[in-house]
Amino acid sequence: MNAVTSPLAPGASRIEGTPMVEMRDICISFGGIRAVDDVSVDLYPGEVVGLLGHNGAGKSTLIKILAGAYKPDAGEIRIKGEKADIANPRDAKRYGIETIYQTLALADNVDAAANLFLGRELMTAWGTLDDVAMEAATREVMGRLNPNFRKFKEPVRGLSGGQRQSVAIARAIHFNAKILIMDEPTAALGPQETAQVAELIKQLKAEGIAIFLISHDIHDVFDLADRVSVMKNGKLVGTARTSDVTKDEVLGMIILGKSPPGALAGPGAAAD
């Protein structure tokens, strides 16, 4: 099960091997505003990287580029060292990139199974939707994530926040994700459900899945992440291993844009 060993095993001084994802010098503008300005981040197998920053710092835009929702104006994405051409969400999924969006991105008027398989429906031999097979798969994966879930026939609009969240998570992990992007995954959850999501992240990480964890709240991320990359005003302030910096230092990165000595400063770091 744990065939993939984390390159960030405790005590490892340096990251080794090829990164699962490299985003290099990514730029994107919307109507003259540089939402993401020359940002480079990377992510290794079995690693959790927290992407931090204020609301509007450009985190969600950056990961939407990786997820194929936006096309960058400049920069390149490498998956396992090879240049990846991600023009749309389907391409991203082909590279094993799955995304849990902040908005969850669920179609409220159809049921859990339809959402889970949206865009990759199971079909019968006659080319029709195999709803029973999809429901069976949904029951299986939901049984693992949220054993009390029973509303398989109901449109997801009738589900609670936590249930909707588990549908969105189920969709991301059901298709053998290698790279998981979680945009504020606990924003809509209560304390108990938040703890469950944290456990799930640890578990997926142990299986060698590389995870980008996006949050504006450092407390959500600091204990789970191996490294944090901080963005401010569309620029990268810096990247640091969580073992090398304190929470206060990371907070300084987020608020002041100041890169501490333990971090690798990015182009967005404030000059002293």
Partner 1 sequence: MTDTTTTSTPIPAAPPPGSPAAKPGSRPGSAPAAAPTSFIGALEIDVRFLGMLGALAVIWVVFDILAGGTFLTARNLWNLSVQSSSIAVMSTGMVLVIVMRHIDLSVGSILGVTGMIMAVFQVSTLMPTFGFNHPAVIILTLAAGISAGAAIGALHGFVIAYLGVPAFIVTLGGLLVWRGAAWAVAEGKTIPLVDDNFKLLGGGANGSVGEMWSWVIAVIACLAIAAAAVQARRQRQRFHFPQKPVWAEFVIVIAGCLAVIAATLVVNAYTLPPVLARRYAEAAGLTVPPEGIAISFGFAIPVLVALAVGIVMTFVTNRTRFGRYVFAIGGNPEAADLAGINTRRVTLAVFALMGALAAIGAAISTARLNSATNAQGTLDELYVIAAAVIGGTSLAGGSGTIAGAMLGALVMQSLQSGMVLMRVDTPYQNIVVGIVLVFAVWIDTVYRKRIK
Q: Which residues bind partner 1 (CB under 8 A)?
A: 1, 67-69, 88-90, 93, 99, 101, 103-110, 114-115, 118-125, 127-130, 132-133, 135-145, 147, 149-150, 152, 155, 173-177, 195-196, 199-200, 203-204, 207
> Could you say which DSSP state residue 271 is in?
P
Closest approach of partner 1 to the CB of residue 234, in Å: 22
Nearer to partner 1, 15 or 200 (CB): 200
Q: Answer yes or no: are the C-beta atoms of 97 and 67 closer than 8 Å.
A: yes
Closest approach of partner 1 to the CB of residue 102, in Å: 11
Residue type, 105: A
Terminal CA-to-CA distance of the chain, rounded, Å?
47
Q: Under the phi-then-psi rule, with left for phi > 0, alpha for psi from -120 to 50, and beta for the rest, what region is 25?
A: left
Nearer to partner 1, 110 or 264 (CB): 110
Nearer to partner 1, 129 or 188 (CB): 129
Nearer to partner 1, 65 or 230 (CB): 65
> Could you say which DSSP state residue 269 is in?
P
Q: Which residues contact 95 (CB under 8 A, 6 or more apart)?
A: 79, 84, 86, 178, 179
Q: Answer yes or no: are the C-beta atoms of 101 and 168 closer than 8 Å.
A: yes
Closest approach of partner 1 to the CB of residue 7, in Å: 21
Closest approach of partner 1 to the CB of residue 157, in Å: 8
Structure tokens at 159: 């589900």
Nearer to partner 1, 140 or 217 (CB): 140
Closest approach of partner 1 to the CB of residue 35, in Å: 17
C-alpha to C-alpha distance for 131 and 181, rounded to whole angstroms: 27
CA distances from 116 to 11, 87, 190 (A): 39, 22, 23
Closest approach of partner 1 to the CB of residue 101, in Å: 7
The sign one gets for the Cα dihedral 221, 239, 59, 81 is negative
Nearer to partner 1, 109 or 160 (CB): 109
